Amino acid sequence: MVVLFRAVVYATVFISLVLVFLPARILEWSGVSTIPGFGVQQAVGAIVVLLGATVAIWCVLTFALIGRGTPAPFDPPRRLVVRGPYRYVRNPMYIGAAMALSGAALFYRSLPMLAYLIAFLLLTHAFVRMYEEPTLRRMFGLEYERYCEAVRRWLPRRPG
């Protein structure tokens, strides 16, 4: 139960900073202060945000309940997580966050939010390649290598 609490706290901090605070500052900086009407674009954007949030929450719960750890680099899972959304893609939490950001960019019709999404994707990819993957190779060895052979980094596919 303690690991679930830690995972929720760390995820809340990440979400609050990266997916709420910084996007709100970007929208404020770019002059967006109200919803630009509510139409199909906003409805689709809201649905994409909710789907992304659902994926991210599923990932946090999977890390805590199966991996016995958290998404935070300083408190990682004790077991390699290859179930739940991780059966389909190696980085579903980042994909969920990117979906939420893309939904917000669509919802607000914001090019600066789109630029933030692109920066998020580039920084995330660099972090995954330079820190996460080498760390997971050291921690889990051959088990992680086999997982990498079976599951793609960014593009989901059916497990087989």
Boundaries of every domain in the chain: 2-150
On the question of pLDDT at 153 being above 70, the answer is yes
The dihedral through the CA atoms of 51, 56, 59, 61 has a sign that is negative
Percent of the chain whose pLDDT exceeds 90: 59
Q: Which residues of 11-41 are buried (b: 16+ CB within 10 A; e: fewer)?
A: beebbeebbeeebeebbeeeebeeeeeeeee
pTM of the model: 0.88
Tens of pLDDT, residues 42-100: 999 999 999 999 999 999 889 888 888 777 777 778 889 999 999 999 999 999 999 99
Look up residue 39 and give its DSSP letter. S
pLDDT in tens, 114-125: 999 999 999 999
Question: Is the pLDDT reported for residue 36 higher than 90?
Answer: no
What's residue 159's pLDDT? 58
Whether pLDDT at 18 is above 90: no
Which DSSP string corresponds to 41-99? Answer: HHHHHHHHHHHHHHHHHHHHHHHHHTSSS-SSTTS--SS---SGGGGT-S-HHHHHHHH
